[in-house]
C-alpha cells in the first residue's frame, strides 16, 4: 500500500507558537511550517536553501497552498530560529499523526526498526543525537522517530517508538539490539509479528539456535530457498532456511509468540574474492498469505539485516530435503 499524503495544515494547526505576541512577529507559524515542510520534502537540507526554495515557489505557496505570506518570505534566520524553539514533543505528535494518516493501515506491511546517529549533531560536550526510526519497507515511508535519551540506548527507546504506531497485522523486524523479551512481548500485544536478529547479546540462545539450524541443514532435514543476484560486477547468493520445530528449545516459553527460528547464509563473490556470512533470527510468523519477499530492518538503503519470508503456508518443514528454489534478480528490480 502506497502512502497518500493529506493536507498537513489541519494536523499542525494547534501547534503552540513559541514566540511572544509582539509586532515583530511578521510571519505566521503556519507559513513557516509549510515552507520548511515543503522544502524538506523537496530535498532541501539547509535553511538558506529553504529560503531560496520559498522565493522560487512563492506563487505556488500562495496560490496552491493558500499561504498568506503577508510580509513576504521569511529569512533563513527566521526559519531556523522559530523551528528551533518549537516544542519537539508537540511537533513530533502532530507530525506522527499526519504521517500515519497517510498510511492508515500497517496490516501486511513490513515495519523496520533501526537506530542511527545524526551526523554533525554533536556540539561541544553534548553527545550526538541518536534516533530510532520506524520505516515501512513496502511503502518506503518513515512512520515515526524516537530520540534515545542520554546515558540510555535503543532498548529503552524502541518500546516508546512502538507505542506510537498501530501495528495490527504488521511484521516488525529489528536488529540484534532490539532482540529482547520485553520488546517481543510488546509487539505481540500490539497484534503484530516479529523477526528479530539473534546475536551474541544472547550467547546461550544464539549458540543453541545456530547449532540446531546448522545441523538440520547439513543433514538435509530443512528446506532451503536460494536467491542469486548479479549487479555491479558482483554476485550475491542467499540461502534461507526456517524451522518451526522448537520442542528442544528451553527458552521458547520466555519469548512471547515465538514460533520459528531462521538462518540466512549470504555469499558475496567479487572476482576471485568470496565471503560468506550466516545470520540467525527469531520469528513469530507461522503462516502468511503473502508471496515470498525480503524483510529488512533499517531505513531505506541502510538496512542491517535481511530475512526471506516464504509463503509459510506452503513451506515444508519435514525431514526430507527439498530442491533449492533459485530466483534471479537484477538490482533494477528492487524498489
Environment class of 91 (CB within 10 Å of its CB; exposed 0-12, middle 13-18, buried 19+)? middle
Q: What is the pLDDT of residue 255?
A: 96
Q: What is the pLDDT of residue 197?
A: 93
Q: What's the Cα-to-Cα distance from 44 to each of 23, 36, 105, rounded to whole Å?
A: 30, 9, 29
Q: What is the pLDDT of residue 100?
A: 77
**274 vs 268: CA distance, rounded Å:** 6
Q: What is the pLDDT of residue 105?
A: 79
The CATH number assigned to the domain with range 105-333 reads: 3.90.350
Q: How confident is the prediction along the chain (335 residues), in pLDDT tens digits per residue?
A: 566 778 888 999 999 999 888 877 889 999 999 999 999 989 998 999 999 999 999 999 999 888 999 999 999 999 999 999 999 889 988 888 887 787 777 888 889 998 887 766 667 777 777 888 888 877 777 888 888 877 678 888 899 889 888 899 999 999 888 999 999 999 999 999 999 999 988 999 999 999 999 999 999 999 998 889 898 889 999 999 999 999 999 999 999 999 999 999 999 999 899 999 999 999 998 654 443 344 433 323 334 343 434 333 334 444 433 333 333 333 333 22
The 10 Å Cβ neighbour count of residue 37 is 16
CATH 3.90.350 residue ranges for the chain: 105-333
Amino acid at each position: 500500500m502506497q502512502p497518500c499524503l493529506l493536507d498537513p495544515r489541519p494536523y499542525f494547526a494547534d501547534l503552540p507558537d513559541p514566540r511572544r505576541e509582539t509586532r515583530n512577529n511578521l510571519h505566521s507559524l503556519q507559513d513557516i511550517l509549510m515552507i520548511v515542510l515543503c522544502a524538506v520534502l523537496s530535498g532541501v537540507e539547509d535553511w538558506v536553501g529553504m529560503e531560496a526554495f520559498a522565493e522560487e515557489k512563492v506563487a505556488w505557496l500562495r496560490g496552491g497552498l493558500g499561504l498568506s505570506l503577508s510580509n513576504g518570505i521569511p529569512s533563513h534566520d527566521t526559519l531556523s530560529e522559530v523551528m528551533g524553539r518549537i516544542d519537539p514533543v508537540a511537533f513530533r505528535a502532530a507530525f506522527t499523526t499526519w504521517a500515519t494518516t497517510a498510511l492508515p493501515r500497517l496490516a501486511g506491511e513490513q515495519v523496520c526498526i533501526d537506530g542511527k546517529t545524526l551526523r554533525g549533531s554533536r556540539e561541544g560536550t553534548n553527545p550526538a543525537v541518536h534516533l530510532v526510526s520506524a520505516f515501512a519497507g513496502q511503502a518506503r515511508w518513515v512512520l515515526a522517530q524516537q530520540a534515545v535519551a542520554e546515558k540510555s540506548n535503543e532498548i529503552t527507546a524502541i518500546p516508546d517508538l512502538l507505542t506510537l504506531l498501530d501495528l495490527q497485522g504488521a511484521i516488525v523486524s529489528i536488529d540484534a539490539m532490539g532482540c529482547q523479551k520485553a520488546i517481543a512481548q510488546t509487539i505481540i500485544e500490539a497484534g503484530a509479528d516479529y523477526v528479530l536478529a539473534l546475536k551474541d547479546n544472547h550467547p546461550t540462545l544464539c549458540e543453541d539456535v545456530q547449532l540446531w539450524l546448522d545441523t538440520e541443514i547439513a543433514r538435509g532435514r530443512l528446506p532451503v530457498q536460494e536467491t542469486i543476484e548479479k549487479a555491479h560486477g558482483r554476485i550475491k547468493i542467499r540461502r534461507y532456511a526456517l524451522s518451526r520445530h522448537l520442542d528442544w528449545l528451553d527458552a521458547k516459553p520466555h519469548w512471547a509468540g515465538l514460533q520459528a527460528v531462521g538462518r540466512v547464509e549470504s555469499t558475496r563473490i567479487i572476482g576471485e574474492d568470496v565471503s560468506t556470512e550466516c545470520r540467525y533470527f527469531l520469528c513469530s510468523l507461522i503462516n502468511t498469505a503473502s508471496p515470498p519477499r525480503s524483510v529488512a530492518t533499517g531505513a531505506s538503503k541502510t538496512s542491517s539485516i535481511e530475512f526471506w519470508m516464504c509463503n509459510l503456508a506452503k513451506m515444508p518443514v519435514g525431514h526430507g530435503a527439498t530442491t533449492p528454489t533459485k530466483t534471479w534478480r537484477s538490482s533494477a528490480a528492487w524498489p
